[in-house]
Amino acid sequence: MTTELVHLTVLSGIATITLDSPANRNAMSAPLRAQLLDALERTADDDSVRVVVLEHTGPVFCAGMDLTEPPAAVNELPPILEGIGTHPKPVVAKLAGHARAGGIGLVAAADIAVAAAHTTFAFTEVRLGVVPAVISVTVLPRVLPRAAHELFLTGETFDATRALAIGLLNSAVPADQLDSEVDRYTGMLIKGAPQALALTKQLPRGRPTPDFAAMLELSAARFASAEAQEGIRAFTQKRPPAWVRPPFGSERRSARVR
């Protein structure tokens, strides 16, 4: 039987995906990659899931790719990064420990990243003779260009304070406040309309100027949508919209990740 390295639980609309391979610092081995991708796909298709939290066990969030595997293993990383970045639900990365190399790619792919203040980060690729090419797709739109260039080239370890300053993190808090800070974000996210959140995630992330005509078309379509009409009615009637009165229960569901 395959060891379960990724756990998936759902409670009150919050899906928690937990990387649980502390023996190799949650490095992305073949089983972990397969199970993580499966968890992302299952939560994307589950209408009861409103927000996804990506967390970990052990002192390291993710050390990157498993370097004991063949070089071709990196071909399986883009679908995972895309699975996070294009996930129809907001994804929150929760770091109680350090991130390195490809692990930072996961952090950058998430919509919101919250870390304990003691965490550290490093793009270690050049020190191993490789290039942070794949993760640059998610990292570069997040991080200040000058800082990204420096950290990619030097491989220097940097702390959560700098990660916050350069745009890699949304929040860095003392370790004992990490849970409450993540709860604060998920509590806000779950108030958003599901379809509106999914469409908002599709807005251009990069630096090119968005197409105003396309954005106007999207905005007009959303104002006319049933979801938006419900939200406007709820606002004028001073009541919560339907999606804040969730159809899901408060029961916890867990599932083995294939």
Task: Give catalytic residue positions.
Answer: 125
Q: From CA 142, how far away is CA 112, in angstroms rounded?
A: 11
Nearest to residue 111, comparing CAs of 203, 27, 33? 203
The string over 82-108, giving b where at least 16 C-beta atoms fall within 10 Å of a residue's C-beta and e elsewhere, is ebbbebbbbbbbbbbbbbbbbbbbbbb
Q: Are 49 and 11 in contact (CB under 8 A)?
A: no
Q: From CA 122, how far away is CA 94, in angstroms rounded?
A: 17
42, two tokens: 């299952």
> ∠184-98-81 over CA atoms, to 5°?
75
Strand partners, 19: 6, 56
The string over 148-160, giving b where at least 16 C-beta atoms fall within 10 Å of a residue's C-beta and e elsewhere, is beebbeebeebeb
For the chain, how many residues are written? 258
Strand partners, 138: none
SS3 93: strand
